[in-house]
Structure 1
Amino acid sequence: MPAPLPVRSDVNPVFLLAPARSCSTVAVAMLSQHPRIYGFPELLLFTAPTLGEVLHGGGARSRLPPWWIENQRSGLVRTVAQLHHGGQDDAATGQALAWLERHAHWPSTRLLDHLLDLVHPDVGLEKSPDTVADPQALQRCLEACPDAGYLHLTRHPLTTMRSMREHWGGMRAGHDQESLSARCAAAWYRSHTAIVTALARVPEERRLRVRAEDLLGRPATELPRILGWLGLEWTDAVLDRMRATQNWPFAGRGPSQNLYGGDWKFHRDPRLRALPDPGPVGFDESWGIGENSRRQLVRLAASLGYERT
């Protein structure tokens, strides 16, 4: 058996910041295959001040349907089950949920500290798109850990918005497609603008931007860049292992086939796939987005490394 790779990361934990439908679940699954990174499913810990509110949909999530909130908290339940009981079967997840309810009075950041202690000395990696959807949640994230690193994951606006429209269509059945498209465009724009603004206050050595298209399509190039930023070593064997996203402990839907904690498509089929080249950024009139908004989207996308039409 090869000797374990040393831990010398100066950024711990790491928060991956990205809006919904940005391939953040597969990104965490990939990075988690490094032997010194522990990737959590979506914990949602910054969405509300207390653990009880996180469990039951407090804060900005109070507008979501109850079934959506229950699915969302899968990540938190799975994490506690895995770390406390070594598995995610019905008995372990039941005990985990009971433990979480007993600690509902905890500040949500206290649970984060507890989980980071359990995975120490590995680097804890967390992502929750809800964090960047709410200014208060993003502020809690920035204040949580003074030595944290921030990985800003981007995805081409057109493919992100198409995925948002497909994913949210069932929840927003009362909206026509043009209205839904405009909401998706606004979500992409607001989230990335908030991330860029927030990270401008973070020292440069503790932040890194990565395009999902590059990470999924060229992992042999992008993974060493990320690991170098983290101060973690790697070998060719480690890079090969990191492509096996299906081996993440939180890939799939658990023994019950009813657990999530991230992108439902990934949990149903957790293999790594490259993203197709989306081409230049441009919007035709069928999107129902006004000219001024289109200009703003294209300008922001260009600043994130995407080609204009």
Structure 2
Amino acid sequence: MSTPAPPPPPAPLFILAAPFSGASWLAGVLGRHPGLYALPQVFPGMAEEVGELLELFALSQLSHGDGLRRSVAQLAFGGQGAVQIAAADAWLQARRGWSTTELIDWLAAQVAPRRLVIPDAEMPLRPHELQGFRDRLPQARWLHLVRHPWSQGCLHAAWLREQLFVPVDFRDHAQTPPLPEPQLPWLRSNQNLLQAAADWPESQWRRLHSEAFDTDFAGSLGGLCDWLELPLARADLEAMARPAEWLYAQTPEGSVRGGLEAEVWADFAPELEALAAQPRLDAPLPWRRDRQGFAPEVLALAKRLGYC
């Protein structure tokens, strides 16, 4: 008598957000639930094949490839040390011909019956990636995570000022010299996600303010777990309140130390964190030299998303 095939793994959940909106932090929270397995950022939307993805990682001025390398090292070889990372690199090179859909399917199978969770704060910036993501993973669920543009802007602007490389489209060219302007990625990401939501089955996506976890941590997680058809015991909630204990929150030894959004690693001054925690839409922006307020289209979108 043949053994019945195991059921397919649950469709993965993607946490999609503008940069510095808390996607990696929420992945750490959800990754502590026994029914979920959260990865670092692996950027599957950047390419259709693994080989192309690896080539883009090699060209990146940032550590885009670290999250995928750490994930494969952990799931295929049992750790994230130098030996396991080297084995993961060889494993990925041997599968250059795989599609990124096959790669996601493999990752999901390794953690089944838990649901795979993947944060991504770059895919929302590029509509073609969102469309390709929908076409290649039509059963996936996704969470549109939103942060108030004031809070996001305070933190993102402070980090951008310290970077040697800032994308051209993250700069306000109306200023001389052009300076980093976090309104731009906030607006583009959230506009793109709203547009994508219009074409996606409502049962497969939901929107959540990151501030909801500050005001009602248990209730916000309870609503998410209900949507994902997962129980939420007291012990689960206590574990999820400690995202620093998530497997990928730790900094591994060696050179492969990335994979999480920069805000997870950033050491913000208490004064800046206090400023970010007092969001406003009607005040001069503290990161702008000209002290202008939000652009009209940012104000309109923020109000559409429920901020005031």
TM-score normalised over the length of structure 2: 0.84
Give 1:1-309 correspondences, 5 Å limit: 12-57=11-56, 64-65=60-61, 68=62, 71-169=63-161, 170=163, 171-172=165-166, 178=175, 179-182=178-181, 184-256=182-254, 258-267=256-265, 277-284=277-284, 287=288, 294-307=295-308
Deviation at 1:98, TM superposition (A): 1.3
1:283, 1:294 within 8 Å by CA — same for their partners in 2?
no
Aligned residue pair count: 288
Q: Which runs of 5+ in 2 are unaligned?
A: 1-6, 268-272
The equivalent residue for 2:4 is none
**Deviations for 1:244-296, whole angstroms, at most 9, x for unmatched residues?**
10111101211337411012442578xxxx98633332352773799897111
Distance 1:73 1:173 in 2: 18
Deviation at 1:163, TM superposition (A): 2.3
Distance 2:125 2:290 in 1: 20
RMSD: 3.0
Judged with a 3 Å threshold, the aligned counterparts in structure 2 of structure 1 residues 194 and 290 are, in CA distance, closer, same or farther, namely farther
1:156, 1:278 within 8 Å by CA — same for their partners in 2?
no
Q: Which has the higher helix share?
A: 1
2:45, 2:133 within 8 Å by CA — same for their partners in 1?
yes
2:243, 2:249 within 8 Å by CA — same for their partners in 1?
yes
Judged with a 3 Å threshold, the aligned counterparts in structure 2 of structure 1 residues 38 and 241 are, in CA distance, closer, same or farther, namely same
1:42, 1:261 within 8 Å by CA — same for their partners in 2?
yes
Runs of 4+ in 1 over 6 A off after TM superposition: 173-177, 288-293
Distance 2:167 2:35 in 1: 43
Moved more, 156-165 or 222-231: 156-165
**Deviations for 1:151-200, whole angstroms, at most 9, x for unmatched residues?**
01001112212222223332239968953344x21211011000011011
Distance 2:78 2:10 in 1: 27
Judged with a 3 Å threshold, the aligned counterparts in structure 2 of structure 1 residues 173 and 146 are, in CA distance, closer, same or farther, namely closer
TM-score normalised over the length of structure 1: 0.84
1:109, 1:144 within 8 Å by CA — same for their partners in 2?
yes
1:37, 1:124 within 8 Å by CA — same for their partners in 2?
yes
Q: Which runs of 5+ in 1 are unaligned?
A: 1-7
Query: For residue 281 of structure 1, what is the amino acid of its counterpart?
Result: L
Distance 1:264 1:39 in 2: 17
1:11, 1:230 within 8 Å by CA — same for their partners in 2?
no
Query: For residue 166 of structure 2, what is the amino acid of its counterpart?
Result: R
Distance 1:208 1:302 in 2: 18
Moved more, 99-108 or 165-174: 165-174
1:252, 1:260 within 8 Å by CA — same for their partners in 2?
no
**Deviations for 1:193-227, whole angstroms, at most 9, x for unmatched residues?**
00011011112222111111112453112100111
